[in-house]
Amino acid sequence: MEIFRPAYLGLSRAELRERVERALGALAECRACPRDCAVNRLEDKWAACKTGRYAVVSSHFPHFGEEDCLRGWSGSGTIFFAHCNLRCVFCQNFDISQAVKPGEKTRGSTAQEIAGMMLELQERGCHNINFVTPEHVVPQVVEALAVAVEHGLRLPIVYNTSAYDSLESLELMDGIVDIYMPDFKYWSPERSRAYMRAEDYPEAARAAIKAMFGQVGQLVIGADGLARRGLLLRHLVMPGCLDETRAILGWVAAELGPDTYVNLMDQYYPAGKVSAERYPEIHRRLRPSEYREALAIASELDLRRLDARWSRTCAPAQA
């Protein structure tokens, strides 16, 4: 049987402790994400992310809806953090990502509690620990991971992100994350401002994804079909936005290379704040013809590792 050693096991206990101290120290003037709020979250203050000292976990469970190379046969061990740092009007998880009333406090989970979730998912046979929407809680993730490692965590770490990450946070995750899974949403500042309330998103995403790729490289998949290490990039094709898709995929091909593993997703549907009155241009599902054109763009750019959700396993790739 193939034996896989997660990246974080290469760090000594002293290195992990130092990483935790550095991560928590950064919360005193928080710049965990590009919002740069600079509030003291150690005093349980918060701004854009609505998260103080402790990360808020919405749910944790074995997820069977992820890419085949992550979910395998026993599921991806998902820990879903609430209060996203973006404001996507079309968010399909709006209730947990944005629907918090001004001044409302939500109980967070301690490092020991989050570590317990990781160990529970490992005990249930999950193939990895999949942190979803971790951009604003990287310090808390590092803190919890150190506790979990002390108690026997041995699963690879998946960092499942919108790509609205700060380089400071990604530096903290270097040597901890095995698989980065960024979603590159929009290329243009105009649409990023209109649909995500983050005009700087494209610039931040490009810098973050390049940093992620620099840490882990191209996605490597074992003989059992499970992802081991590398970058898996997602892009949700949006109605009427094939120019965004072309720009993003062109950048991926040029900057990361044609062997970049890309999941070109077609499952958009109107959700969140999207209505016929407020956002008529995206108040519809993606047309099959639009998705076929997106696939044609990928082929034209020679992106040759597209996720095939209809297959039983991801095509293995050697290191």
2 pLDDT above the threshold of 80: no
Q: Is residue 239 part of a domain?
A: yes
What is the number of domains present in the chain? 1
Q: How confident is the model at residue 4 (pLDDT cuts 50, 70, 90)?
A: confident
Mean pLDDT throughout 213-230? 97
Q: Quote the pLDDT of residue 259.
A: 98
Which pLDDT score, from 0 to 100, does residue 100 have? Answer: 55
pLDDT of residue 105: 55
Write the CATH number for 23.
3.20.20.70
In a domain, 97, yes or no: yes
Averaged pLDDT score across all residues of the chain:
93
pLDDT (0 to 100) of residue 308: 83
User: Would 4 be classed as within a structural domain?
Assistant: no
* Per-residue pLDDT, 98: 63
Domain span holding position 269: 12-306
Per-residue pLDDT, averaged over 91-101, amounts to: 68
pLDDT at 97: 64
pLDDT digits (tens, 9 = 90+) for 237-278: 999 999 999 999 999 999 999 999 999 999 999 999 999 999
> Does residue 5 sit within a domain?
no
Report whether 67 contacts 307 (CB < 8 A): yes
Q: State the pLDDT confidence band at 3, using cuts at 50, 70 and 90.
A: confident
Q: Is residue 107 part of a domain?
A: yes
- Does residue 83 carry a pLDDT above 80? yes
Asked whether the predicted pLDDT for residue 66 surpasses 50, the reply is yes
Residue 101 confidence (pLDDT): 52
The answer to whether position 317 is within a domain reads no
Residue 164 pLDDT grade (very low, low, confident, very high; cuts 50, 70, 90): very high
Q: Considering the domain boundaries, does residue 126 fall inside one? A: yes
pLDDT bucket at 316, cuts 50 / 70 / 90: very low
How far apart are the C-alpha atoms of 147 and 172, rounded to whole Å? 16
CA distances from 237 to 46, 62, 159, 199, 297 (A): 33, 26, 21, 19, 12
What pLDDT, on a 0 to 100 scale, did the predictor assign at position 313? 34
pLDDT tens digits along 179-218 = 999 999 999 999 999 999 999 999 999 999 999 999 999 9
Please check whether residue 92 lies inside any domain of the structure. yes
What are 109-138's pLDDT values in tens digits? 999 999 999 999 999 999 999 999 999 999
